[in-house]
Structure 1
Amino acid sequence: MKLSFVVAFLVCAQLARAQYEDEPNERAPYSVLRTGDGYEVRAYPAAKWVCHSQVQQAASRRKDTRAFFALFRYIDGGNEAEAKIPMTAPVSMKKTPIDDKVDAQMCFYLPAAHQASPPAPTNAELYIEERPAFTAFVRIFDGFANKDRVWEEASEALKVDLEAAQEDEVDFSFFYRAGYDSPMKFKNRRNEVWFLNKKKLSLHLCC
């Protein structure tokens, strides 16, 4: 079982590397409304993302890898249209605690060419999520954010800055992680954590 997982991981990693040879040519659009001490306030328009969600053990990272490659196979033609979809940025992750486990949601932003009518996934674990427009309070940081602790420390630092600035429209109940780079990129990496404004997103499935 372990050997088959490693082989599958290496095959998928080679495919992902081909997609990642260049920087993603499209990123989720946003506009910077203003900047603060250590953060930006951004407006994101409504957009569709392809997502994978699964309840997992809090310390597990294997299922994060499973989610990534399920999503990667979708953009590599594993959809009802058999469409090849360019890799975009960022990859977003939201982890919601449930007792001693977490509900982990990973999503790829769908490029503009597929926003109006995204091809349906063939994998039942994947779905298209339509996020309405939202405002995010964002901290940017570099390096390899490959441990939960790194993201949590970044989110806590952002929370401290926002509280010091007396930002009173922030929902601190959860945060998004946003990664922009391939694992094969070693310099000038870009990671972000997002807190949203208190106006709740009315997420819904589409298509």
Structure 2
Amino acid sequence: LAEPIQQLTSNNQGRSSREHVPFTLLAHKEKCGEVLFEKRHYEKGHWACITMREDTYEQSICYGFMRIMRYICQQNSLDDYLGMTLPIVTVVRTDENHSVISHDVTVAYYLPAEHQAQPPQPHDSDIIVEVWPASVVYTRIIASFAVFPVAFTGPTNEVTIIDQINAMAELLDSPGVCVNDSFIVAGYTNPAHSHRQNEIWFLERR
């Protein structure tokens, strides 16, 4: 697990070996010269997913992340290291009032471009390779000049996720265009890192 975890933890080294999930920037909203959020289009692609049901969100993402890492490193049908992509995402589900997070948390990894056509199959039967349809997302960011266009840093737990969801909802001109009970936390650093780089994604209704 050392290589992908080092890539996720390092601030400078190994960045060239990190493949980012491709997207097209459709629009952004600014206020006083600061970018409040972006609207992006992500193409259809294969993702390796595992759904965890631990006592806390933190436990679910950490355990799920480690099992996904094992798949990336060697526990796959190629018995080889697949390559790191960013972000690693978690799908969280809430009630309609955005006050409670479900214990079911899905951790997902985007397959590198070279494996999209023929995704290696996981040895872990709980990891499922799925085709996610093309999607439009709205994501909250700090500033346009940030190294990572992220919404927030630091630990993620039930409280911070709910706070970030509600903060993003207030920024949207028409929040009704987005799915109201399912959101994505996109992580650009190791979930165990003390200064994580994260985004909140709202999914546009199809």
- Under TM normalisation by the shorter chain, which class is it? 0.7 to 0.9
| Other-structure match for 2:24 | 31
**SS at 2:48 equivalent:** strand
Deviation at 1:184, TM superposition (A): 7.7
Please tell me whether residue 95 in structure 1 is matched to residue 88 in structure 2.
no
Deviation at 1:62, TM superposition (A): 2.5
Distance in 1, matches of 2:204 and 2:106, equals: 19
Matches for 1:21-170 after TM superposition, within 5 Å: 21=10, 22-23=14-15, 25-37=18-30, 38-57=36-55, 59-96=56-93, 102-140=103-141, 141-162=151-172, 165-166=173-174, 168-170=176-178
**SS at 2:40 equivalent:** strand
Q: Deviations over 1:129-167 (max 9, x none)?
A: 1101010011122321332322221111110011xx235
Aligned length: 183
Please tell me the root mean square deviation across aligned C-alpha atoms, in Å.
2.5
Deviation at 1:171, TM superposition (A): 1.6
In 1, are the aligned partners of 2:94 and 2:181 still within 8 Å (CA)?
Answer: no
Distance in 1, matches of 2:202 and 2:109, equals: 18
Deviation at 1:103, TM superposition (A): 1.1
Distance in 2, matches of 1:127 and 1:160, equals: 34
**SS at 1:61 equivalent:** helix
In 2, are the aligned partners of 1:83 and 1:119 still within 8 Å (CA)?
Answer: no
**SS at 1:62 equivalent:** helix
Deviation at 1:94, TM superposition (A): 1.0
Deviation at 1:56, TM superposition (A): 3.1
| Other-structure match for 2:147 | none
Deviation at 1:174, TM superposition (A): 1.6
TM-score, length basis structure 1 = 0.78
Distance in 1, matches of 2:57 and 2:205, equals: 30
Question: Identity of paired residues, percent?
Answer: 25
In 2, are the aligned partners of 1:19 and 1:86 still within 8 Å (CA)?
Answer: no
**SS at 1:56 equivalent:** coil
Deviation at 1:170, TM superposition (A): 1.6
| Other-structure match for 1:178 | 186
**TM-aligned CA distance change 1:89 to 1:53, over 3 Å:** same
Please tell me whether residue 198 in structure 1 is matched to residue 205 in structure 2.
yes
